[in-house]
Amino acid sequence: MIRVKRVNKQDLCPQTHSFCKSSKAIHEYLINSLGFSVASCLCFAIEDGDYFNVYSATDGKVDLKTIDEYSKAIADELSAKAQFDLFIHNKQIILNFLKTQDIDNAQLIEQKDNLIFILEHAKNIAILDKSRICLLPLITQQEAIALKPVTSVNETKTSNVNKLFILLPLLLLLLLIATYFIFLYPWPFDDKKIEQNNITNPQLVDTNKKDLTTKVEGAINVKVDKQENQQENYADKILLLDNLLKQIDQKLLQIQKIKSENRKQTEQNLELQKQEEKKVIVQEDIKKDISQNSKTKKLKKCHLLKEQDIPTLIIALDVSRSMIEDYYGLTRIDAAKKASLAIIDNIDKNVEIGLVDFGSCPSATPRGVFDFSLRSRLKSIIKNLSFYGNGGTPLIETLYIFSDIALSTKGQVAGVLLSDGEDTCPHTAHLDICTEVKKIHKLTPNLKIDVIALGDWQHSNIKCVADITGGKVYLPQDAKQLQNVFKLSTTNLQEVCIE
pLDDT digits 0-9 by tens, 335-388 = 999 999 999 988 999 999 999 998 888 888 899 999 999 999 999 999 998 876
pTM, full prediction? 0.43
CATH superfamily of 297-498: von Willebrand factor, type A domain (3.40.50.410)
Average pLDDT over residues 95-105: 87
DSSP type of residue 10: G
Q: How confident is the model at residue 151 (pLDDT cuts 50, 70, 90)?
A: very low
Length of the chain: 499
Phi-psi region of 150 (alpha: psi -120 to 50; beta: other; left: phi over 0): beta
Q: Give the model's pLDDT for residue 192.
A: 47
**Chain CA centroid to CA 99, Å:** 12
Closest CA to 451 of 439, 441, 461, 438: 461
Q: Does 284 score more than 80 pLDDT?
A: no
pLDDT-wise least confident of 24-28, 246-250, 310-314: 246-250
What residues contact 286, with CB distance under 8 A and at least 6 apart?
A: 78, 366, 368, 369, 401, 404, 405, 408
Q: Give the model's pLDDT for residue 340.
A: 94
Q: Give the model's pLDDT for residue 206.
A: 55
Q: Give the model's pLDDT for residue 289.
A: 53
How distant, in Å, are the alpha carbons of 319, 333, 492 from that of 482?
16, 12, 18
Phi-psi region of 229 (alpha: psi -120 to 50; beta: other; left: phi over 0): alpha
Closest CA to 420 of 315, 314, 336: 336
Average pLDDT over residues 317-330: 86
Average pLDDT over residues 50-65: 87
Residue type, 77: E
Q: State the Cα–Cα distance between residues 114 and 484, nearest whole angstrom.
A: 54
Q: Does 252 score more than 50 pLDDT?
A: yes
Average pLDDT over residues 405-423: 89
Average pLDDT over residues 442-457: 89
Mean pLDDT value across the chain? 80
Average pLDDT over residues 156-172: 67
Q: Give the model's pLDDT for residue 153.
A: 41
Q: Give the model's pLDDT for residue 307.
A: 44
Q: Give the model's pLDDT for residue 171.
A: 83
Q: Are 451 and 466 spatial neighbours (Cβ–Cβ below 8 Å)?
A: yes
Q: State the Cα–Cα distance between residues 123 and 125, nearest whole angstrom.
A: 7
Q: State the Cα–Cα distance between residues 411 and 424, nearest whole angstrom.
A: 32
Per-residue exposure over 406-431, b if at least 16 CB sit within 10 Å of its own CB, e if not:
bbbbebbbbbbbbbbbebbbebbbee
Percent of the chain with pLDDT over 90: 28
Q: Give the model's pLDDT for residue 159.
A: 56
Q: State the Cα–Cα distance between residues 37 and 319, nearest whole angstrom.
A: 12
Q: Give the model's pLDDT for residue 334.
A: 92
Q: DSSP states of 355-395 as a string?
A: EEEE-STT--EEEEEE-GGGHHHHHHHHHT-----SS---H
Q: State the Cα–Cα distance between residues 394 and 275, nearest whole angstrom.
A: 14
Q: State the Cα–Cα distance between residues 451 and 467, nearest whole angstrom.
A: 10
Average pLDDT over residues 49-72: 88
**3-state class (DSSP) for residue 233:** helix
Q: Give the model's pLDDT for residue 391.
A: 64
Q: Encode pLDDT of 333-347 as tens digits.
A: 999 999 999 999 889
